[in-house]
Amino acid sequence: MFLALKEMRRAKGRFGLLIAAIGMLVFLILFQQSLQNGLLTSFVGAIRNQSAPVLVYSVDGQRVIQGSIITPDLEAEVRADGAVGAVGRIGQGTFTVSAGGEAADATVLGYEDRALGAPTALTEGRYPDVAGEAVGSDADADDGFGIGDTVLVQPGGLAITIVGLARDVQLNAGPTLFVPYETYVSAVRSVNPDAGQPLPNVLAVQPADGRSADDAVASINSRSDELDALTRDDAADETPGVAQVRQSFTIIFLLYGLVVPCVTGLFFLIITFQKSGALTLLRAIGAPAERLVGSLLFQAVLIVVAGYAIGLALYTPVSQQRLGGIPLRFETGAVLFWAVALLVLGVGSSLIAARRVLAIDPIEATRGGANR
């Protein structure tokens, strides 16, 4: 340990730059992790965090709520299924609204039953009791979608008052309102008075007693080729675009994960070559190889830990911010995972340099090997 710290003090600039480089890489990794999770949540949080265990789309909708239409015949098929308990309609539309004195596009999700399509939990306020009330996303509270704010659907001027807020319930990365189904119908008619009675986009299903969500999905899908039933999590994960976003970020994380061990391993390998003469001399006067290797590994651990601490210090305040319409948050699981992963990769890569130390022959010092 003394040898390792002595060397680091003598080459503060060199080791400091490596620590700073690792710190920046850690910051980028953790920031990208928050960005990925925030982006996915803003796109499909309303699906993942609503109360219905099973959602039933029409096949033609390709697992997009607004693109799906459930006809009366298909609804009858679902209600007749023995694996199905309660069924509720869900309608979804994107409307131009006036909120906070400004125009914005908002998603309105109408549900018939709080247990079948409403947000699973509220952070503030209450659920709608009557038509014309809504639960909004807390990410949009400062943009005219907070509790007590009234949103006007344009054209038509239908007023919707926000009485509750929920977390992670955005859809399509924009303001989202959960309303009673009759309010959704009123919003459609406000924009288009000739719309008539809109058909539901999807059906929210509660499995029958003694049946699981997977049982209900399999049973519903077997009844008709036009029905596409999914569990809540599958509906969120298989929304078009989600898999592609995950794949893109996975490639980015893989590249970041490779950079740290490459940089650390190459650094120590270069250092080992540069001080090969001193290492050979130390071996010649009796310094055990294990002590030299231990010094090298101690430096690797110290560098990775210090770099990670710097990256974490940079990431923490940024993780509390909002990037456009995407709320970021501190990802504790990712912080722990990458702390372990980068420590293992960084120390593991330094073992390449450790092999160089172990291969030093003390007799080289007597033959001038230190000067070659």
Read off the pLDDT of residues 313-347 as tens digits, 9 standing for 90 and up: 999 999 888 877 788 889 999 999 989 988 887 77
Average pLDDT of the chain, as a whole number: 86
Dump pLDDT digits (tens) for 233-248.
999 999 998 988 888 8
141-146 mean pLDDT: 90
Calculate the dihedral angle through the C-alpha atoms of 258, 260, 263, 266, rounding to the nearest 10 degrees: -70
Q: 333, exposed or middle or buried, with CB in 10 Å at 0-12, 13-18, 19+?
A: exposed
Buried b (16+ CB within 10 A) or exposed e, 28-62: bbbbebbbbbbbbbbbbbbbbbbbbbbbbbbeebe
Dump pLDDT digits (tens) for 182-208.
999 999 999 988 878 899 999 999 999
Whether 296 has a pLDDT exceeding 50, the answer reads: yes
How many Å apart are CA 311 and CA 333, to the nearest integer?
16
| pLDDT greater at residue 288 or residue 190 | 190
Bridge partners, residue 230, by sequence: 55
Dump pLDDT digits (tens) for 32-78.
999 998 889 889 999 999 999 999 999 999 999 999 999 999 999 99
**Joined tokens for residue 13:** 């600039």
8 Å CB contact between 122 and 135: yes
The pLDDT score that the predictor gives to residue 80 is: 94
State the amino acid at position 308 in one-letter form.
Y
Instruction: Kindly state the percentage of the chain with pLDDT values over 70.
Output: 86
Sorting pLDDT into bands at 50, 70 and 90, what band is 273?
Answer: low
How many Å apart are CA 274 and CA 266, to the nearest integer?
12
Q: pTM score, two decimals?
A: 0.79
Bridge partners, residue 154, by sequence: 96
How many Å apart are CA 307 and CA 80, to the nearest integer?
60
8 Å CB contact between 177 and 64: no
The pLDDT score that the predictor gives to residue 362 is: 62
How many Å apart are CA 246 and CA 242, to the nearest integer?
6
| pLDDT greater at residue 290 or residue 129 | 129
Cα distance between the two ends of the chain: 28
Whether 85 has a pLDDT exceeding 50, the answer reads: yes
Q: 284, exposed or middle or buried, with CB in 10 Å at 0-12, 13-18, 19+?
A: middle
